[in-house]
Amino acid sequence: MMDASVIKTKLGKQSEFVALVLVNSNEYYKASTSLMKFLTTTKHIPGVYLSVNKPFSVLNENFKKEGIRNDLIIFIDAITNLSDSKLEENEHCYYLESPENLSDISIAISEAIESIDHKEKFIFIDSLSTLLIYNNPETVTKFIHFLIGKMRAWNAIGVILSLKKRGEGSLIAEIGQFCDMTIEL
């Protein structure tokens, strides 16, 4: 079972990095919450959380229960509009139409990260696997490559979460080459 100590061991000494984090589906929730707790509670870093997986309302409640500092996070929710869920007004959340429009995602991330007036910051992508459901692999690879370049220009910590899936080995290897590290949890 993965816990916060594993995250701290793997990332604790790093100050600026882009990490591709691979997890099994049964460890996905624990991995994402442990990573967010590490960034916001242990390191006290503000940042941007792109969700293409769960609506903001669910993430917000889950993070509160887990003791994650939501006040340090700007959420970009690209999934709520697809589910016809009620949009929960919140100054810390941008709602996008869908995960298919990577240009809108890029613009929202840029606006959000540039609004953070702090030396250290992070960008958390949840999840690469879900982006691949809505976009073709070549487009996602180009998007992630572009976004990693922007993360480096912004001096932001980057975390890209993905499920370990059979058949995506070459895609993971290709994206992994753009990152500073690939971590399997």
Residue 166 reports pLDDT greater than 70: no
- Mean pLDDT computed over 38-58: 91
Model confidence at 10, in pLDDT bands (50, 70, 90)? Answer: low
Give percent of the chain with pLDDT exceeding 70.
Answer: 88
Confirm if 164 and 26 have CB atoms less than 8 A apart.
no
Beta bridge partners, 95, equal 77
Residue 140 reports pLDDT greater than 90: yes
Residue 183 reports pLDDT greater than 90: no
Write down the pLDDT at residue 1.
39
Tokens of 74: 């700007």
Write down the pLDDT at residue 144.
95
Give percent of the chain with pLDDT exceeding 90.
Answer: 52
CA distance 146 to 140: 10
Show the domains of the chain with their CATH numbers.
32-157+174-184 (3.40.50.300)
Write down the pLDDT at residue 16.
76
CA distance 177 to 181: 8
CA distance 149 to 78: 21
Lowest-confidence pick of 69-78, 132-141, 147-156, 168-177: 168-177
Mean pLDDT of the chain: 87
pLDDT in tens, 54-92: 999 899 999 999 999 889 999 999 998 777 666 777 788
Residue 149 reports pLDDT greater than 90: yes
Model confidence at 96, in pLDDT bands (50, 70, 90)? Answer: very high
Write down the pLDDT at residue 81.
79
